[in-house]
């Protein structure tokens, strides 16, 4: 399960975008993205692009100048400013292999399927910051960032012990997400199971069910409801986070399909990108589970040859124009629309 991920770097007016094997540094050709009018695409210039052998994951703590990159079994910490300044004279827009030395490295037991910074955990003595990782064998693990930076790599066993297994699925954990209020953690696996628990009290399980009949291909949640979708039977299900009550189960009309799901962070509403194969158009639908009302916030965008529309985490609509032969974005810019 792969989602486009966008992080806005407020101190440098840049954006980082990851999609599949690529990580892009983008610059808005206008002003800051949230200051532009809604429902309008903005041109983002690709300053630099990097490529890995498999899907790449990243997250940042901008105030601490930290960039975390995960790929295969490896998690690496980089100096964010050094990363942004690296290979500054790359004028041909070719994706490169990142050759910047890492500040710290950690090797997970199994191949990563997702990685991101978890919400901070406040204890009586300290505030704990950490990375959450899911992997191919179904484990969801927590890596304390302070231990990661200060830990001594004396042996492979000690290095593995820097991360703690929180819980596991019986098969590959294909992804996880936090609710908008950071109080819930949802994870899904390739056996069609959904697990929802409190955070950081991960032992208080709210849901663990098998309502989807086929493999879950995408999901999203706000602070009260969960969306799950299977592209195999085109069934969209909405349930309450705090229990297992199904609010709605909707099958997409003939000729329609859902491409991606996200949560609009500013409105706390669940959104999905719906495509009409016959008309070759795409619309962004916002759903309000409490009153079961859906409305199109972006309607009937024409899908031209080479267009690749997708929703990015946080609430962005992208047109990536992917080259089908190599998976690289065509040209030196992409279109980004903020739904916030």
Q: Is 118's pLDDT higher than 60?
A: yes
Which residues, at least 6 apart from 254, have a Cβ–Cβ distance to it below 8 Å? none
In the predicted model, what is the mean pLDDT of the chain? Answer: 88
DSSP state of 253: P
Percent of the chain with pLDDT over 90: 64
Residue among 179, 182, 181, 212 nearest 194 (CA): 212
| Cα distances (Å, whole numbers) of residue 317 to 272, 273, 325, 332 | 10, 9, 23, 18
Asked if residue 110 lies in contact with residue 135, where contact means CB atoms within 8 angstroms, the answer is: yes
Average pLDDT over residues 19-38: 74
Measured at the alpha carbon of residue 328, what is the angle toward residues 322 and 333, in degrees to the nearest 5?
Answer: 75
- Coarse DSSP helix, strand, coil percentages of the chain, rounded to the nearest 5 percent: 5, 50, 40
pLDDT tens-digit readout, 147-191: 999 875 444 545 556 889 999 998 999 999 999 999 999 999 998
* pLDDT confidence band for 32 (50 / 70 / 90): low
Whole-model pTM: value is 0.91
* pLDDT confidence band for 245 (50 / 70 / 90): confident
For residue 223, give the 3-state DSSP assignment: coil
Percent of the chain with pLDDT over 70: 91
**Torsion of the alpha carbons at 58, 63, 66 and 70, rounded to the nearest 10:** -20
pLDDT for the residue numbered 7: 94
Tokens 């706000």 -> residue: 222
pLDDT for the residue numbered 265: 84
pLDDT for the residue numbered 249: 86
- CA gap 22, 241 in Å, rounded: 33
pLDDT tens-digit readout, 291-326: 667 888 999 999 998 899 999 998 899 998 888 777
- CA gap 261, 237 in Å, rounded: 12
pLDDT for the residue numbered 33: 52
pLDDT for the residue numbered 291: 64
* pLDDT confidence band for 39 (50 / 70 / 90): low
pLDDT for the residue numbered 156: 52
């Amino acid at each position: 399960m792969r989602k486009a991920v966008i992080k806005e770097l407020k101190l440098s007016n840049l954006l980082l975008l990851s999609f599949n094997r690529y990580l892009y540094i983008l610059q808005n050709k206008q002003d800051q993205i949230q200051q532009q009018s809604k429902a309008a695409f903005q041109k983002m210039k690709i300053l630099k692009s990097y490529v890995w052998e498999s899907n790449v994951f990243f997250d940042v703590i901008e105030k601490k100048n930290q960039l975390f990159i995960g790929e295969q079994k490896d998690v690496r910490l980089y100096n964010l400013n050094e990363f942004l300044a690296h290979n500054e004279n790359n004028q041909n827009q070719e994706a490169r292999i990142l050759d910047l030395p890492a500040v710290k490295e950690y090797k997970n037991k199994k191949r990563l399927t997702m990685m991101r910074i978890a919400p901070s955990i406040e204890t009586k003595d300290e505030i704990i910051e950490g990375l959450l990782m899911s992997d191919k064998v179904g484990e969801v693990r927590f890596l304390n960032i302070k231990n990661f930076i200060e830990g001594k790599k004396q042996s492979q066993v000690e290095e593995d012990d820097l991360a703690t297994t929180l819980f596991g699925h019986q098969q590959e954990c294909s992804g996880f997400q936090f609710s908008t209020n950071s109080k819930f953690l949802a994870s899904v696996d390739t056996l069609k199971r959904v697990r929802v628990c409190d955070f950081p009290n991960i032992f208080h399980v709210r849901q663990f069910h098998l309502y989807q009949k086929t493999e879950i291909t995408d999901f999203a949640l706000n602070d009260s409801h969960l969306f799950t979708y299977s592209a195999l039977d085109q069934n969209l299900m909405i349930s309450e986070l705090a229990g297992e009550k199904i609010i709605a189960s909707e099958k997409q009309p003939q000729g329609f399909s859902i491409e991606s799901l996200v949560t609009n962070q500013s409105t706390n509403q669940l959104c999905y990108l719906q495509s009409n194969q016959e008309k070759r158009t795409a619309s962004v639908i916002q759903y309000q589970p409490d009153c079961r009302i859906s409305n199109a916030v972006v309607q009937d965008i024409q899908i031209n040859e080479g267009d690749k529309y997708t929703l990015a985490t946080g609430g962005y609509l992208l047109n990536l124009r992917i080259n089908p032969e190599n998976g690289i974005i065509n040209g030196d810019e992409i279109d980004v629309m903020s739904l916030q």
